[in-house]
Chains A and B, each alone.
Chain A
Amino acid sequence: MALKELNISPVGRVEGDLDVKVYMENGVVTRAHTQAAMFRGFEQILAGKDPQAGLIVTPRACGICGGSHLYCASSALDVAWQTTLPPNALLLRSIGQASETLQSIPRWFYAIFATDMANKKFANKPLYQEVVKRFAAYVGTSFQKGVTASGRPVEIYALFGGQWPHSSYMVPGGVMCAPTLKDITRAHAILNHFRNDWLETVWLGCSIERYMEIQSWDDMMEWLEENESHRNSDLGLFLRAGIEFGLDKFGQGVGKFLAWGTYLHKDMYNKPTIEGRNPATISPSGFFDGKKYYDADQKMVAEHIKHSWFTDQEDGLHPFDQPIPTPALGATNLEHSDFNGKYSWAKAPRFMGFSAETGPLARVIMAANPANKEHQFRDPLFGDIMAKMGPSVFTRVLARMHEATRIYQKIDEWLRQIDLDGEFYIKPTERDGIGWGATEAARGALAHWIEIKNGVIENYQIIAPTTFNVGPNDKDGQPGPIESALEGTEIEDPHDPVEVGMVARSFDSCLVCTVHAHDNKTGKELAKFKL
């Protein structure tokens, strides 16, 4: 009896609703299908509305990445309306984006990911007791510190945007606020709270500057063994326990990576255009196919709907060429999915025809690109780690956490660059046109495409990082990144398939997961039963 069926519904701790169909053989996943199980129809709501409606509506597409949606929505309008952006506005938008991402790092690690390391699956491992003591939900010592500290960076967002989540302070032409000295000094102070309450004291066990000296995996290991403070930090524990628990052994994925990059340089994007965007990013954009780097040209994106619950459009269209999505309600039986036909509310986006992973791992790979310019991140670490270890749950988590120090330093630098005598907003002229705005949400590449006609929104298309990562098969049967990453995963206890959860959570997908398991030979969904 080699074949197993498994129904995990839902997995949880990822946002929204996602089902995954898993084919297993001898307890190992041989194939998987991801299924987004909820539709909200935001593009339909935006059609025909005020051009600026996206500033209010799209942050509410995702409460976790609301600032990132705002960054895209305002940029797309900047391009369409041909605005002029003062340097201060670009700095304050970057500070907002970066604060949201910095918030997400400890919040995601402790509240979403690390509680799984305290799962009984790992009870026989030597480090298990220590992991439970620190990472167990609510009671873990580090869980409390990390979740509490995660609220700090968004206080900086609130100083400039009023509140987090769900501000709309980035508007075409700049930002709404005109901060004062007291806002800047408060922001510096709050940043230091974050460093003292968590980043250096709990996570690193050393200074930010010491950590940033690490250039390779060997450096990382040397750092780990340098002293007890490093070994016993949460990062030290994660490095030791992550390897001991075998997190580097599963969740590989498609091995191709896409980043739009973000943080538009204050002096390089004052006249926003589609073409001028990528060179102006500080966190660099790019597509890496496992060997070579390519430009992340937005023209290379296409979306497939063969396996998506949408109709009235062709496969493989660029967002500007796609209609507002029409849900396919007629023939499809939504609760008994046909995995050979349509089975997800997510479309399947492809870049240059490939399924690509987005997220922190993609970003740190782009940061290792030797061709990066002086104003961009240049960090060889993950070039080395990818060559030595390849992608896995472990490398993905490490990449996420690695970003904290660099983002911290950048926010500090940008705060210093704000010119309090300069402009913050230049009122634009409203006009019809097309625009594109993109960024890196904490969990990956996000972009908005807008078309304005007769003074209202004619078309609005969003491709979220999770759409890339959890999208279904495309028309050629090419699986999405999480679908691919689940393959080969060994599931020890089908009643508690924590491994599947860990793979999905390592992508930090914004969808609640459900896993259906299926008979590998017939492909039929078996009757549900508890194992």
Chain B
Amino acid sequence: MANVLWLQGGACSGNTMSFLNAEEPTVVELIVDFGINILWHPTVGLELGTQVSDLLNDCLSGKTQLDIFVFEGTVIEGPNGTGKMNYFADRPMKDWVKDLAEAAQFVVALGDCATWGGIPAVPPNPSESTGMQFHKRQKGGFLGADFISKGGLPVINIPGCPAHPDWVTQILVAISTGRIGDVVVDEFHRPKTFFTDFVQTGCTNARNFAEKVEGGFGKRGHGCLFYEVGCRGPMTRASCNRILWNRVSSKTRANHPCLGCTEPGFPHHDLKKGSVFKTMKYLGFLPQEAPAGESKLLYWFKAGVGKFSPTPSELREHSK
């Protein structure tokens, strides 16, 4: 049995909606079969008003054991560091977050807003939003770089805009089946089991990445979206093409460029002119950014070598 408390700060509820799509396991199974007891959730919780503040206070006083604290949305610090742009149960939400994070065994930041600020934190960041333990790529965020929860882990970041539903339910299962020791996190505090592969891992267009066959909107045939329409699949860590979305697909499988939403830079280039659905080209035909793990020089050189190869005609084939 593990008690879970879920709160939302500067959030759109997208992660909650995603969570309700979970399949392995489903939300209902999480509760019925894996002993997860959801103390409260803003969308599906039953309590209201003072019942909620009583419940939160019980968590803080230790009357109710708080095993997992899930936070969705940014921590809003505006205006001027007061947090009054997001009031909840008579206090700035940021104050609840600080106190509950201290009381919980494990703290889980769900979605890009909670992990590193996400879209609300794009300049000019009108709400003074930040993530729980990161601000964009910078460690620190709201709780500070050194924060460790009672269970001995820093904030566990499950990024994505939204996060894949099974990423969060499976982490909750890992905790409930005694496998928390197998949850290894990377430098951005992401569980490596989901964030070691790249989005390109299992992408239906991956071979055309290697063959430099480019794709575009409205076309069949698995052209790679990296070259023209800004796909970030080769440099974004997430299991989107391994554990499919909504059971059947993923962005790149549906010919949609990866937006890189599990990386702390999202939205990348701060949405500046020319960065949306266009591969930024600073050096002629070569994309500005090289895939993760390759030096730019080597990648460009290889790209140049690859260009000499005729494109295999089969790779362009398609069928309805």
Interface residues, chain A, with chain B CB atoms under 8 Å away: 180-182, 184-186, 188-190, 192-193, 195-196, 416, 420
B33 touching A196, Cβ below 8 Å: yes
- Determine the chain B residues whose CB is within 8 A of the CB of A192 once the complex forms: 25, 29, 33-34
Looking at B24, B33, B179, the one whose CB has the most chain A CB atoms below 10 A away is: B24
Interface residues, chain B, with chain A CB atoms under 8 Å away: 23-26, 29, 32-34, 166, 169-170, 173-174, 177-179, 182-183, 191, 193-194, 239, 243
Expressed in whole angstroms, the Cα–Cα distance for A13 and B166 within the complex equals 38
Expressed in whole angstroms, the Cα–Cα distance for A151 and B239 within the complex equals 24
Expressed in whole angstroms, the Cα–Cα distance for A174 and B180 within the complex equals 26
- Determine the chain B residues whose CB is within 8 A of the CB of A182 once the complex forms: 166, 170, 193-194, 239, 243
Residue from B169, B191, B193 within 8 A of A189 (CB atoms): B169
Residue from A184, A185, A186, A195 within 8 A of B33 (CB atoms): A195
Closest CB in chain A relative to B3 CB, distance in Å: 20
Closest CB in chain B relative to A206 CB, distance in Å: 15
Expressed in whole angstroms, the Cα–Cα distance for A185 and B23 within the complex equals 11
A-B contact pairs, 29 of them (CB 8 A): A180-B193, A181-B170, A181-B174, A181-B179, A181-B183, A181-B191, A181-B193, A184-B179, A185-B170, A185-B174, A185-B177, A186-B24, A186-B166, A186-B170, A186-B243, A188-B25, A188-B34, A188-B177, A189-B24, A189-B26, A189-B29, A189-B169, A189-B170, A190-B24, A192-B25, A192-B33, A193-B24, A193-B25, A196-B29
A185 touching B173, Cβ below 8 Å: yes
Residue from A184, A189, A416, A420 within 8 A of B25 (CB atoms): A189
Closest CB in chain B relative to A182 CB, distance in Å: 5
Expressed in whole angstroms, the Cα–Cα distance for A192 and B178 within the complex equals 17
Looking at A182, A184, A188, A420, the one whose CB has the most chain B CB atoms below 10 A away is: A182
Expressed in whole angstroms, the Cα–Cα distance for A420 and B178 within the complex equals 13
8 closest A-B pairs by beta carbon, nearest first, are A189-B25, A189-B24, A185-B170, A181-B193, A192-B33, A186-B24, A185-B173, A182-B193
- Determine the chain A residues whose CB is within 8 A of the CB of B191 once the complex forms: 181
Q: Which residue of B lies closest to A192 (CB)?
A: B33
Q: Contacts A182-B194, A186-B170, A196-B29: A416 and B178 contacting too (C-beta < 8 A)?
A: yes
Closest CB in chain A relative to B124 CB, distance in Å: 38
Residue from A180, A193, A196, A416 within 8 A of B177 (CB atoms): A416
A189 touching B182, Cβ below 8 Å: no
Expressed in whole angstroms, the Cα–Cα distance for A355 and B229 within the complex equals 70
Expressed in whole angstroms, the Cα–Cα distance for A291 and B169 within the complex equals 52
Expressed in whole angstroms, the Cα–Cα distance for A461 and B191 within the complex equals 48
A181 touching B166, Cβ below 8 Å: no
Expressed in whole angstroms, the Cα–Cα distance for A184 and B191 within the complex equals 14
A181 touching B182, Cβ below 8 Å: yes
- Determine the chain A residues whose CB is within 8 A of the CB of B177 once the complex forms: 185, 188, 416
